[in-house]
Every structure is written in structure tokens, then in C-alpha cells.
Structure 1
């Protein structure tokens, strides 16, 4: 049964300020930079060098770092490249951690049980990565699409933005004065995608056939290509990625970068996995925590302790 049709997806890339990278003694050539920043560790080292030589932070905000890291997958991240993770074995995570099996007399009880590792290990790793950049002073703490972000972009307070094409597209609206000062290259680590959006016809529609025809038209490759060129919505139709029209798309805002080729590098290699509904709730809890660290100056360790308690509660309510 068809419930919705994909309208766009969100492969991530790294937008970077050519002037700041050059001032820091870092490469500005797209391919050379992609090779240098192929890992998160090398990106951290580049950020420290950039901070020391220019005074600018590496990233605009923690949420973009966290989300890009969290949503990394490739064929080696999932079983057989199918997109379906290995099924957890009885007692597996607890036994590997040296903990008693759940439900035994030695089990410490619901409140102090470790979180479901199948859902939270990746979240914790993404949190730790984002917070590390924050602790190293490599984060400007400017929320995307805010006046503060626009001012920071113009005043060179940060040098890079990890994001999908639609968010990079909004940079043109929020900081038009920086056009041509940015460039684009592949994001570090494994391919990452910020998911996407879908179009559906509600059951209450008075004109379901006409609505479905419109959805079919809007999600067809020609219309998706136009949406990508005008607003940065990346096509959900893989056949688009091989077309000459798509591969030749360049963006003057990003110094004429071949944006179709760069984003499709991640899109073609990304192998996502199914996520349970509770995962979205856990993700929102962590994002709220990142905001407290970034905007309120809260201690990351104390915030994470609070996040763990909230995630346990969310998982318990999901199981009821």
C-alpha cells in the first residue's frame, strides 16, 4: 500500500569559507580539502588551526554537527547493505557490558537500567562529537536561520556549515552579502543524510485522484530538478543523478561549485536504516539539551545526565 511519495532527501555536504580557510593555511580546492577532511579527527585539527590563525570558530552551531554525525550510514553500517540492522540477541548488550540479564534478581531495576543501546549508542556518540567541538571552542553557537547567524556569517564568526542542500540553500536568503565567498565539498566521515519529506493525499480529500496526479507530477524528475536548482531541495529520484542537466548544475553562491555532483556523492552511497518512532523523540530530547549547552552555558555532563533520565522515560512510555 502506498502511503506517501518522497519529495526530497537531505544528503549532507560541507560549506566552507574560502577566505578563512586560506587565511588559516588550509586548502581551498574542493577535492584537496575533501581528502584532508575525510575524517572527523582531521576536521577537528583543521578547526583548531583555523581558530588559532583567524579567531573564527569552525562551525556555526552544534545541532548541525550533531545531526550530520548522527545520520551517517554506509553499506558497512548495516547488515549486508540492506538497511536493516542486526537483530539484538537475548541479553547481548547487557552481557557484553558485564551487567546481569534484565528480569533477574541482580537486575538493578527500571530506574537505573542502562538505556536501550540499540537506540541510544549512536545518539551518545553524536552528542560527544558535537560537545567536543564546543569544548574546544570551535563552535560559534549561532542557530541556523536566525538574525544572529546571518550577522555571524557576514562578520566571519564561523568558517563552515555542515548541512543538506535545502539548508545550504537558505544561506543565500539569510546572508546574501557572502555570495561567492563560500565553496562546497564532501562532508567528513561516512555518507550522511538529514532524511527528507513526503507528499501524501489525506483520506478526507474531496479530490483524491486529482491530488494524486499533482503529487505524481511534483515528484517527477523534471520538477524535482527545478526545485533543486531554485531552492536546494535535493531530488528523491535516483535516476535524476545521472542526467546531464543535474550533473551540470552549479551554484554561484558557492563559487560555482558543482552542487549536483557533490550532494549526489553522499546520496548514492548512503544506506539508511529503519528507525522506530521513539527514536525521533529521543533525538528531540538531545537537541533541546544541545541548546541548553550552547545558548545557556549549561554543563554538558549535567545536561547529558538529564537527557538520560528523559530518554528512559520516553522508552518506558513507548513500551506501555
Structure 2
């Protein structure tokens, strides 16, 4: 889903996976409770907004008990997923898949159920945006995941900090600042000069959405490494120049320092996929309510960063019930509730035209109609970016560390050479 973040854990031993995923290395535990209820385990990461929905489902399905395995970040969750796929046991009945790891999952699609076969008969593919379905459909037509959220891109910014720098802060005024990446970084130079403070939180949090606007990720559609043939070097150099100009607060995303940075007003702007609203709200705290705003104007026109799926591994003991739960969770009504809870924006077509979604406002962001804003941003995404088998690995273990190295003083040219070496190694 969203949340592309700290580095991928290297541990593959079962004991390490237990520590990361808080789950046992066996068959997944008992499938029934002492009073005869069917236990369904659901493995997610970060925030899906499902906690209250689980209670609602259990109330309507009194024969079901849901146990959630929730991992703090996406990397350890997926390491656990791939380790247990290889082991042949231990996975949850429903496993969440983040789009950055989808290519790796698709290469193992034979180990997941075809939801067209075992899912409820009334779940049709037109429930979702077409590109969302296409990304999780195998070449022979099997559907191995139900879409949850997407991450349409907007830009969040601190109105008060821009005003203190004598820069425009109203919705119309910031359009010129955020029109393109050139204007965004030029505005950053202006802000740094006026205040001596950082413009954005971290280099990787800016590089990633710029990269996601490309047609393909780190691999082309033949699964050949594309990092030397696409625009990634240009993007890397552009972000690195901004770092050297003082625009980065040099905060590692999702770290304690990064979270404190919101409260301490350490930066003025934040690339803002829909799921970031909750993070800004939670980390900034009540003292900054009304100071943050969100703009539909996004450099490069828009894009998608994040989004996930719910899958049913063949390892499960209650696959039909698992598919039924996954289908219910990914229905438009439930995904709108998840968006209300945690900002995970729906990928369902009916949700995107629902007045319940479009009329949603967020008082923390000055009463902005965030449902309408992100629905419009979602419709600017023409297709899902093609991602190769090690896309997520390269992003989290190669690019992000290299950009952090630039923030700590490494020459951009040297860091880029490290990127090339790491990407080639990961692609083997």
C-alpha cells in the first residue's frame, strides 16, 4: 500500500521472521476457537483502516473470529510472506500485498488462489479501476488479489511556514509553486534562502513519486533492468541537487526523528499520496490543526504511489471463507470507511463516484474536500506503472540508502554508481 519506507530486513531464518511478523513458524495455528468459531487470520502492514471493520464483520458473521497479524512496515511483512511461501506453511488466510512487491508475488501466482474461482460470484472485475485489476491478473487470466486502496498523489504544505517566508499559501497561489518539479525545487531554493530551513522531509520521499511517474519502474516490460535507460539518473541528480541546496530535512521516513519532524516544523512541504493524510495528522498533533493544507496541483500532473491487494494463499485451511472476507473488505462501502479511518483511498469505481466519499472533508486540513480532491487525482492516473520482480527491493535497499548517503555528504556521482551496482546485483 503506500508506505514505502525503511530498508528490507535481511533475515530469512524462521526465528527472525517470528520477530518481524509476530507470527509462528508453523501451520498458522488453530482454525477454530473453543466455542466452534472459524478463525480467519489476516496479515497486513502499516494502516489499512480495518480494525473496526473486523468487528463489524464478526458481528454480522457470528461463526467467524478474525485474528489480525499487523506488521509495522511493508518490508518485513513481505519478507515474511516470501519466506513462508518457500516453506510451504505459516501464512495467514488472507495476506495483504503491496504494489511494490506485486511483481514478485505474480511470479509465484501458482501459490495463490484464483479469486475468480473461489470468491463470491457477485464480485466482478468492474468493481475496481481497470488498471488496478490488470496489475494483479496473470497472463492466463487468473485474479490473485482483490484491490484495496490506491495512492493518488497531491502535495501537502504548511500554510503558516510559507507565509513566514513571504510565499503564497492559498490554493490558487501555490499552483505556480507545484506546477512542475522545476518550479517545486525553485520554490524550495526560495524557501531555504528566506528561512534557512528545509523544504521537504527526505530525498527518497521526493524521488519515489518522481520515479513513479515513469511508464515503467526499475525494470522494463521484458523484466530487464531499465535503471540505465529510463529517467532515474536525471531524477536522482535533480533530487540530489536539491539536497545539496539545503532543501532536505534529512529525515528517514517512518523513523522516530521523522515523526518528530512534523511536530517540530522541520519542513514545509510533503509529497502527499492519500494515505499520508493520516500520518501527517497523527504525527503533527493537534497543535498544528489547520496549518496543513493539501493541493490538487502536483508536479508532473499527478501519479500513484502505493496501493495494496488482499490475496488468499493456497496454504490456507478456510479459503472460501477467506475469499468471502477479502471480498467484503474490498467492497466500496467498506473501503470508504477505511478511508475515513486511515486515509487509504478506495480503488473501487463506485466508491470514486459516491457522494459519501466525494463530500468527505478533513477539518485538520482546513475543511478541504479530500474525497473529491483525491478522486480527481485518481482519475489522472492512466495506467499502473509496470514493476519488475525486484522493484520493491531496489527501491528500499538500493535507492533509499543511496539518497540517504547523499544527505550525509556522499557525492551524488558516487552514490549513483552505488545505485547501479546494487540494482544489477538485485536483478540477478
TM-score where L is the length of structure 2: 0.61
Query: What SS does the aligned partner of 1:19 have?
Result: helix
Shift of residue 117, structure 1, vs aligned partner: 4.2
Gap change, CA 1:68 and 1:202, over 3 Å in 2: same
Alignment correspondent of 1:248: 359
Contact 2:227/2:233, CA 8 A, preserved across alignment: no
Counterparts of 1:195 and 1:145, CA distance in 2:
15
Gap change, CA 1:228 and 1:119, over 3 Å in 2: farther
Is 1:178 aligned with 2:280?
no
Kindly report the root-mean-square deviation, in angstroms, between the aligned alpha carbons of the 2 structures: 2.4
Counterparts of 1:224 and 1:116, CA distance in 2:
35
Which of 146, 150, 160 is the aligned partner of 1:5? 146
Gap change, CA 1:122 and 1:238, over 3 Å in 2: farther
Contact 1:7/1:199, CA 8 A, preserved across alignment: yes
Alignment correspondent of 2:319: 208
Alignment correspondent of 2:417: 305
Map 1:1-320 → 2, pairs under 5 A: 1-72=142-213, 116-117=225-226, 121-176=230-285, 177-186=287-296, 187-271=298-382, 272-284=384-396, 285-294=398-407, 296-315=408-427, 317=428
Query: What SS does the aligned partner of 1:121 have?
Result: coil
Counterparts of 1:169 and 1:60, CA distance in 2:
16
Shift of residue 144, structure 1, vs aligned partner: 2.6
Contact 1:68/1:163, CA 8 A, preserved across alignment: no
Query: What SS does the aligned partner of 1:256 have?
Result: coil
Shift of residue 60, structure 1, vs aligned partner: 0.7
Contact 1:16/1:182, CA 8 A, preserved across alignment: yes
Contact 1:9/1:193, CA 8 A, preserved across alignment: yes
Unmatched tracts of structure 2, length 5 or more: 1-141
Query: What SS does the aligned partner of 1:29 have?
Result: coil
Gap change, CA 1:260 and 1:147, over 3 Å in 2: same
Counterparts of 1:147 and 1:25, CA distance in 2:
30
Contact 1:218/1:224, CA 8 A, preserved across alignment: yes
Structure with greater proportional helix content: 1
Higher relative contact order (CA 8 A, sep 6+): 1
Alignment correspondent of 1:111: none
Q: Find runs of 4+ consecutive structure 1 residues off by over 6 angstroms.
A: 85-88
Contact 1:15/1:162, CA 8 A, preserved across alignment: yes
Contact 1:20/1:54, CA 8 A, preserved across alignment: no
Counterparts of 1:86 and 1:197, CA distance in 2:
21
Gap change, CA 1:28 and 1:265, over 3 Å in 2: same
Counterparts of 2:203 and 2:172, CA distance in 1:
25
Shift of residue 291, structure 1, vs aligned partner: 2.1
Give CA-to-partner distance per residue, 1:6-51, whole Å, 9 cap, x none: 1111112111000011122222222431244211111112112211
Counterparts of 1:240 and 1:194, CA distance in 2:
19
Gap change, CA 1:136 and 1:266, over 3 Å in 2: same
Gap change, CA 1:119 and 1:276, over 3 Å in 2: farther
Aligned residues: 281
